Amino acid sequence: MQTDLSARAVSEDITAQLPQVHEPRNPGMPLDLDWVMSAQANTSAIERRAATLPGRRSVKKDHQAAWLLKAVSLIDLTTLAGDDTPGRVRRLCVKARQPVRAELLDQLGMEGLQVGAVCVYHDMVSVAVEALRGSGIPVAAVSTGFPAGLSPYRLRVAEIGESVAAGAREIDIVISRRHVLTGDWQALYDEVAEFRAACGDAHLKAILATGELGSLRNVARASLVAMMAGADFIKTSTGKEGVNATLPVSLVMIRALRDYHDRTGYRIGYKPAGGISKAKDALTYLSLLREELGPRWMQPDLFRFGASSLLGDIERQIEHHVTGRYSAAWRHPMG
Amino acid sequence: MTVREIFESMDYGPAPEGAAEALAWLVDGGDRYGHFIDGEMTAPGDGFLSRNPATGETLATLTQATQADVDAAVAAARAAQPKWARLSGHARARYLYALARLVQKHSRLFAVLETLDNGKPIRESRDIDIPLVARHFYYHAGMAQLMEAELPGREALGVCGQIIPWNFPLLMLAWKVAPAIAMGNTVVLKPAEYTSLTALLFAQICQEAGLPKGVVNIVTGDGAVGEMIVSHPDIDKIAFTGSTEVGRLIRRATAGTGKALTLELGGKSPYIVFDDADIDSAVEGLVDAIWFNAGQVCCAGSRLIVQEGIAERFHEKLRRRMNALRVGDPLDKCIDIGAVVDPAQHARIDAMVRSTGGEVFRADCPLPEGGCFYPPTLITGLEPADPLMQEEIFGPVLVGTTFRTPAEAVQLANNTRYGLAASVWSENVNLALDVAPKLAAGVVWVNATNLFDAAAGFGGVRESGFGREGGWEGLLAYTRPSGKSRKLSRIEPLAFPETPRAEGMDRTAKLYVGGKQARPDGGYSRPVWSPRGKLLGHAPIGNRKDVRNAVEAAQGASGWSRTTAHLRAQILYYIAENLEARADEFAQRIANMTGQTARTAEAEVAASVSRLFTYAAWADKLDGAAKPVPLRGLALAVNEPVGVIGAFCPDEAPLLGLVSVMAPIIAMGNRAVLVASEPYPLAATDFYQVLDTSDVQGGVVNILTGSHAELAPQLAGHLGVDAAWTFSSSDLSGVLEREAAGNLKRTWVNHGRARDWMSPDAEGRAFLAAATEVKTIWVPYGEG
């Protein structure tokens, strides 16, 4: 395995969340169309696996609290709204540093817990970088004409560079869905590879917009192509599609990155995004991850939740765990 | 462990389901249980301990039924039956509906009790067993409601003795009890001695539902109690789910008694993975195929057959998946595999695995201390000749081999005495739907495994038993045509007359085997006399070797089963046409042999022509069904030919009897070995000339003549024959059913009752049902 040493030395701001700290960075590989085309995804079987998983795995009491806190550490705390302002983003960043009330964390012996990253639009990157300075929490920027990915190609590439220059450590790019829908895998490969080059040391999360790809088979194939082109993470959705992260889609993507690891030795991260708003859902995703990939993947360098309202539900569950009484939303500081 | 330590390790930790309510229920029952007879629990008597296999702890003391207990239960069921059957379908439906609702209301109690008693994971009892139980009662509440309108001319059998296994205690009870009582039968049920507790809780909900006394009776005990039920003279039907070995004993024990019988037995079901399958999903499917209920499932996908090119990768993925399985406390909501049911079963599995020469992989998952736990095991590199590829292990042990081509996959899959279920994994719809009908199995799952529903028939072929549970087809096992029949008297061949006469040119009747006329192997013939002493000809005396040859010819004509229904119809019409052309000659022959009037004989020929038309009509009209199962996909009920059917034709109607038996057999794509009317064989030997001129492929119909009594054990005992029927006036029912136990072939016998072959009752659906097996093919689909 090849280690990308240049990534190790990028800045004093290096964080535990970035994959290059622990894992050799995925250098990508030539497009292997035989492999891509052999990928299969049987929808009904995948749905059955996904539907029965919550009944097969259950975590209770202290284990549940620990798992939920783990989920907090894996959240890309996100605001992607047209009315975002510096003040709004700063508030989110303070929440990112202290996602759960301090005295609850004290009682659980989990002082210092932070979220995985803060995810914003380009114009908010510098505000977020400033607000998070010293915390070790990276800033992720959605990019490349997010969410539709239909702005001029050269601007999409340029957008990445601007966000990296503004201090974003992670770039969530969107792919051109039409390349998948027309089966133009070479074009998809070339696009992601160029985005990756534009990222430099920042790491690339490839948003597949799975709700717009038509089939799980396409999700499997697009996942493989994105990884071959050098994606550090593959991510389900922008949160703006009609259907965002689902368990069946997650199963397909997770299996694709397991195969990629089997064949190349590189671990790629996974980020389901959109629609995960309940603590129980987070537990199910984590158990899916543990079952299919094992505990190594349950770390911020290899897994993130793209979520905005999930944290609130987890906070209430944590308070319930500590006090034995059901909680209320207003008892927890807003982000 | 501190929260921070768990945060680092991300272990699951214990997630136990509470057992307090179930244990309290046992305490309320005094931890001692009697039987449920005539609506009341009897006082507990001498008995045995029911244990939790995960801990070895005693749950309750149960009573071993005595002959008096069984007699009392049967008497209660008998007394209750007429009134129960006379209730309107709606009235019975209301009771079944109440039972369904009560199962749901007590669902967690049932689930926890089942898991305590059986050792299966709470997930399975909670999410699979108990919901399917409720579904079965709901579904059959509907069947009771619809019986009068949809099943005219059918009635309850009477008292049903039902013996069920320990692997799905309450679910098997539901599969047995619901259709039986829906159709107006009453039951005496014996749960397995390892797992009787949920049956006793069910007894309580029968009381809560206000079910009339005696409709459901439950007696507990071991195999000796089962024997008492099987041999009880006042029981009309036995339904058994369990081992093939015991099924065979029951087949022999009930032979000739007139008891109806359905058997759901063992299996060694193939799990075929083609190289274009979604491999990860196929691996995951195996978790549900062989590690569901620790592999203690009669239809477990226990024989893995993988295409050679992907085998290494598939096995590697499978081994990794196995390592992630969690074996442990069945009440833990976070485990995959619980305890096997009993130390005896554990020892049996262990001994079988130790005996193999294959490559054994045991999952690297920790096993709990104590209790009856066995690790998930994969044995690869086996060939069909290895005993573990043939014998049912009934544990969490998967055996595997590889194949090169689809044809070889089918060959390997069918290389078994069993025929319960099969799974096929391929993303190619052409391949999957081509393979599914070729598999010798009652149930086929395409890209899935272990899907069940009350609307879809379940049951086996070959030594996996006969009869279906679920669906309309399942009701055949609990009803019979209503109406009385008269006794059938033996018709002796006419003896050497006092004043024999012989005239005309000698014509030689032969056996008809493989489309050719054949002299009898023994070289003996019997003269056939008219009642007036005229020598009509000689009929060959067939023997065991002639049976062997005929069966071989029938097996060789398997292409007939693959012809189109339209072609089969055409050939039946053609037979009718050619028979009609020689109607006078056949009428003369019948009149000469039987002494009937010319008019009666002519009527028999005309009826024969009509009957051929009937089955020509039916050949392409016995539709299958697409069952409305709760799944996005199809559950197809396909009528498949049984295979080779050996039949003893009616003695009294030499031509019509033969045609009435032959026509449904070949119309449905079977091949026939027919033994002609014993006293009047010459219509049959004339008839093969009609077959010869009607494009009937050689071997599809084979005709033997001779002594029914001598040929019966040979034909019924032949292990290559799939079904044996008798309409003979010789008393063959007992010997046929007894000999059929060898390969558990289907039987259809007359128990000495007559049938009016001229009547419309002598044709149609009953014959078609006997000539077909319903195969349920599940095809879940979806893309998106």
Q: What is the CATH number of the domain that holds A298?
A: 3.20.20.70
Interface of B with A in 219-238 (CB under 8 A): none
Q: How far is A159 from chain B (nearest CA, A)?
A: 32
ipTM metric: 0.95
The alpha carbon of residue B23 and the mean position of all alpha carbons in its chain are separated, in whole angstroms, by: 37
d(CA B112, CA B743): 39
What amino acid positions of A are annotated as catalytic residues? 172, 235, 271
In the predicted model, what is the mean pLDDT of chain A?
94
Strand partners for B307: B403
d(CA A205, CA A227): 10
- Name the residue range of residue A238's domain: 28-331
| Alpha helix stretches (DSSP H) within B165-243 | 169-182, 197-208, 223-230
Which chain B residues contact residue A110 at CB under 8 A?
3-4, 7
User: pLDDT at residue A311 above 50?
Assistant: yes
The reply to whether A13 falls in a domain is no
Q: How far is B417 from chain A (nearest CA, A)?
A: 29
The reply to whether A10 falls in a domain is no
CB proximity A61 to B under 8 Å? yes
DSSP assignment of B224-290 equals HHHHHHHT-TT--EEEEES-HHHHHHHHHHHTTS--EEEEE----EEEEE-TTS-HHHHHHHHHHHH
Which chain B residues contact residue A58 at CB under 8 A?
12, 15, 333-334
Residue B733's pLDDT is: 98
Integer CA distances (angstroms), B521 to B296, B537, B546, B692, B706, in order: 48, 19, 6, 22, 12
What are the residues whose beta carbons fall under 8 Å from the beta carbon of B213, sequence distance 6 or more?
B38, B39, B40, B76, B80
The reply to whether A326 falls in a domain is yes
Of A14-18, A20-24, A59-63, the one with minimum mean pLDDT is A14-18
Interface test with A, best of B1, B128, B280, B336 (most A CBs within 10 A): B280
Residue A21's pLDDT is: 58
**Are B3 and A105 in contact, with CB atoms under 8 Å apart?**
no
pLDDT means per 10 residues, chain B with 784 residues, are: 96 97 97 98 96 96 98 98 98 98 98 97 98 98 98 97 98 98 98 98 98 98 98 98 97 98 97 98 98 97 98 98 97 96 94 96 93 96 95 97 98 98 98 98 98 98 98 97 94 92 85 97 96 94 98 98 97 98 98 97 98 98 97 97 98 98 98 98 98 97 98 98 98 98 98 96 96 98 91
d(CA B370, CA B380): 29
User: pLDDT at residue A19 above 60?
Assistant: no
* Number of neighbours of residue B243 by Cβ within 10 angstroms: 15
User: pLDDT at residue A2 above 60?
Assistant: no
SS3 for B418?
Answer: coil
Pick from B719, B614, B717: nearest CA to B661: B614
Residue A308's pLDDT is: 87
Q: Which two tokens stand for residue A73?
A: 């550490």
- Give B544's Cβ-side CA count (13 Å radius): 6
- Helix/strand/coil (H/E/C) assignment for every residue in A159-186: HHHHHHHCCCCEEEEECCHHHHHCCCHH
CB proximity A58 to B under 8 Å? yes
CB proximity A57 to B under 8 Å? yes
Q: How many domains would you assign to chain A?
A: 1
β strands within B96-219, DSSP E: 154-156, 159-163, 186-190, 216-218
Q: Is the dihedral of CA B647, B649, B655, B661 positive or negative?
A: negative
Which chain A residues contact residue B324 at CB under 8 A?
291, 294
User: pLDDT at residue A12 above 60?
Assistant: no
The percent of residues in chain B predicted with pLDDT above 90, rounded, is 98
What are the residues whose beta carbons fall under 8 Å from the beta carbon of B618, sequence distance 6 or more?
B664, B667, B764, B768
Residue of A nearest to B16 (CA): A60
Would the CB atoms of B10 and A298 count as touching at under 8 Å?
yes
CB proximity B633 to A under 8 Å? yes
Q: Which of B298, B299, B372, B649 is catalytic?
A: B298
Q: Give the pTM.
A: 0.96
Pick from B473, B540, B485: nearest CA to B511: B540
User: pLDDT at residue A10 above 90?
Assistant: no
The reply to whether A121 falls in a domain is yes
The alpha carbon of residue B680 and the mean position of all alpha carbons in its chain are separated, in whole angstroms, by: 35
Would the CB atoms of B10 and A291 count as touching at under 8 Å?
no
User: pLDDT at residue A7 above 50?
Assistant: no
The reply to whether A21 falls in a domain is no
Which chain B residues contact residue A61 at CB under 8 A?
13
Q: How far is A182 from chain B (nearest CA, A)?
A: 16
The reply to whether A220 falls in a domain is yes
The reply to whether A116 falls in a domain is yes
Residue of A nearest to B277 (CA): A40
Interface of B with A in 308-367 (CB under 8 A): 324, 333-334, 336
The reply to whether A7 falls in a domain is no
User: pLDDT at residue A20 above 60?
Assistant: no
Would the CB atoms of B13 and A110 count as touching at under 8 Å?
no
User: pLDDT at residue A4 above 60?
Assistant: no
d(CA B232, CA B226): 10
